[in-house]
Amino acid sequence: MGSSSMSEEKTSGEEKEQFQVRETSKPSRPPRASLQEILDSLKLAQANIGQISELKSEEETIVAEFLGSLSRLMEPVARNVSISREVFSGGAREVTQAVVDRSGQLVIQYSDGTVELKNLGDEGNRDLLVAVLEDLMPRFEQLFSASRQKIEERMKFLSSVAKETQKMSKGFSKATD
């Protein structure tokens, strides 16, 4: 019996230690903010709201100007440009094809056959606009190089044909004189 009483005492001593540790490890409540701290926080929030409003207005102007420039840039080289499907990875539906046109409209075709049109100028599509531009902009050099090469080949052909036509015309003029 003596040994069982020792084990009971030992157990209750361990419980007391655990209880004390639990009490001391309890997180203490953070001190309440003073009225001045709350007012200062609200003033900072108000300043941030004002800045957000200004930034959104500036963003709207930048996006409109950019889309106008994009239209002018794309006009001589392409009516629309394909966008990599990787831009849309992680979405709820699988994208099979996506193209952006000169006006900033994004046409997305999904594997189920549905087609979605998104205006990249809309405020709700700004993150999508950035993702599309990250894919599109590096390819502009390639688009312009291909366009220049096409024009050069066309000019070479037309120049050769024009020379021969002029020779024929001169010969015809001399024969009819």
In a domain, 86, yes or no: yes
For 4-34, the pLDDT digits (tens) are 444 444 444 554 455 454 555 556 677 788 9
173 located within any domain: no
Domain count, the chain: 1
Q: Which residues span the domain enclosing 68?
A: 41-158
3-class SS at 94? coil
Give the Cα separation of 139 and 133 in Å (integer).
10
Give domain status of residue 152, yes or no: yes
* Domain presence at residue 96: yes
pLDDT digits 0-9 by tens, 95-150? 999 999 999 999 999 999 999 999 999 999 999 999 999 999 888 888 889 889 99
21 occurs within a structural domain: no
Residue 79 token pair? 């009516």
CA distance 127 to 101: 18
32: in domain: no
